[in-house]
Amino acid sequence: MNPANLPFDSEAMLEGLRTWVECESPTWDAGAVNRMLDIAARDMAIMGATIERIAGRQGFGGVIRARFPHPKQGEPGILIAGHMDTVHPVGTIEKLKWRREGNKCYGPGIYDMKGGNYLSLEAIRQLARASFTTPLPITVLFTPDEEVGTPSTRDIIEAEAARNKYVLVPEPGRADNGVTTGRYAIARFNLEATGRPSHAGATLSAGRSAIREMARQILAIDAMTTEDCTFSVGVVHGGQWVNCVATTATGEALSMAKRQADLDRGVERMLALSGTANDVAFKVTRGVTRPVWEPDAGTMALYEKARGIAKSLGAELPHASSGGGSDGNFTGAMGIPTLDGLGVRGANGHTLEEYIEVESLVERGRLMAGLLATLD
């Protein structure tokens, strides 16, 4: 089976993808994410998949697991793992409207990562239409909470990965048309400052501002960044009334490192910030963590398979480890051969200029089809 001969059609793929993109699905809106999962479930049911819905927890949406018909159903096969949540609040579609400009197509979540998820299903669809039976059974798992560190579905992802031989992750491809064979470690932290209230006009000096302490700590956290381990504060909330000295302020911080030992040291430094100064208590607690995924022999053999397919299609396929976490962190760290970054090319993820390169839908769709058709 030559994937170059499969009749992928970028215009038809865009038409289907548009429905997905215009169904906004921000992580914290479980109902919105579930509506997106309903659309994907319907598409896969039409393709002949057996659909299982797993209820959400911790306030997040649910999970869809789709198993496609296969003579070896139930045996270890290929897991395609993707997330359907995005960082864009409902209403973003009015600011980041679906639009096509030459080889670019824009929309919330189109790049990260609905485009990659959609082309994965198109690859399965094209193989089925060609009456081609893949050597291994295929399972697709779509989850609701990757953008916040996968707190509610990590156990499901790891359990499903353990039942399979390979994991393919259609997160966005690299700008050089490459794929991802490893990812850095990431830790999240919750920050809380607790001060003493007073009237900001009448008795300002009697109060102790939690906002002031949070601001001081933010500068200290940013200053901890080195080449080995980065630190940043991305969320801050504090105060209720401008005429009151703020009693509480909260925040969220992120740390990333290429090596687990560096992240572990970073975690220790963050937790050591807890304490009391200037009559204000500051508390750091650890949130979700993604382990370092370093490529092993299994992952590199999987990459070489993909590189050979890409070469047969007339393309180079470089690889590298990447910053920014994905659910590939979990499966790769488990030692299961994992190939990430198999999704679309594009840019400006998590912004109001997020887009994909339209031609990459077909190019990456053929690559995915080639992998599904040859992995054994």
Q: Which amino acid belongs to residue 73? A: Q
213 shares its domain with 305: no
Closest CA to 217 of 297, 273, 140, 294: 273
Q: What is the CATH number of the domain that holds 263?
A: 3.30.70.360
3-class secondary structure, 146: helix
What average pLDDT does range 203-221 have in this prediction? 97
Q: pLDDT tens, 276-304?
A: 998 999 999 999 999 999 999 999 999 99
267 shares its domain with 256: yes
158 shares its domain with 72: yes
d(CA 53, CA 64): 5
Q: What is the CATH number of the domain that holds 145?
A: 3.40.630.10
176 shares its domain with 323: yes
Q: What is the pLDDT of residue 26?
A: 98
Whether residue 354 lies in the annotated active site: no
Q: pLDDT tens, 171-183?
A: 999 999 999 999 9
From 241, 257, 290, the end of a domain falls on 290
What average pLDDT does range 84-94 have in this prediction? 98
Q: pLDDT tens, 246-282?
A: 999 999 999 999 999 999 999 999 999 999 998 999 9
**pLDDT above 90 (res 324):** no
What average pLDDT does range 227-252 have in this prediction? 97
From 146, 147, 213, 363, the catalytic residue: 146
d(CA 252, CA 149): 12
d(CA 149, CA 367): 28
299 shares its domain with 206: no
d(CA 159, CA 153): 10
DSSP one-letter string for 2-41: -GGGS---HHHHHHHHHHHHTS--BTT-HHHHHHHHHHHH
**pLDDT above 90 (res 311):** yes
259 shares its domain with 302: no
**pLDDT above 90 (res 187):** yes
- What is the sign, positive or negative, of the torsion defined by CA atoms of 331, 335, 336, 341? positive
**pLDDT above 90 (res 165):** yes
From 290, 319, 342, the end of a domain falls on 290
157 shares its domain with 211: no
- What is the sign, positive or negative, of the torsion defined by CA atoms of 198, 200, 206, 212? positive
Cβ neighbours of 292 (radius 10 Å) = 21
246 shares its domain with 329: no
139 shares its domain with 214: no
Percentage of the chain lying above the pLDDT 70 cut: 100
d(CA 31, CA 304): 40
Q: What is the pLDDT of residue 1?
A: 86
d(CA 71, CA 77): 12
Number of domain units in the chain: 2
d(CA 342, CA 160): 19
From 290, 307, 324, the end of a domain falls on 290
64 shares its domain with 197: no
Tell me the residue range of the domain where 196 lies: 185-290
170 shares its domain with 240: no
CA distances from 362 to 16, 184, 212, 307, 359 (A): 13, 29, 52, 17, 6
23 shares its domain with 126: yes
Helices (H), 88-187: 115-129, 154-162
d(CA 28, CA 130): 40
Q: Which amino acid belongs to residue 367? A: L
Note whether 326 and 169 are within 8 A (CB).
yes
Which residues make beta-bridge pairs with 63? 54
From 29, 43, 85, 327, the catalytic residue: 85
Closest CA to 87 of 61, 117, 113: 113
Q: What is the pLDDT of residue 142?
A: 98
Whether residue 85 lies in the annotated active site: yes
Q: Give Rg (Cα) of the chain.
A: 23
d(CA 255, CA 238): 22
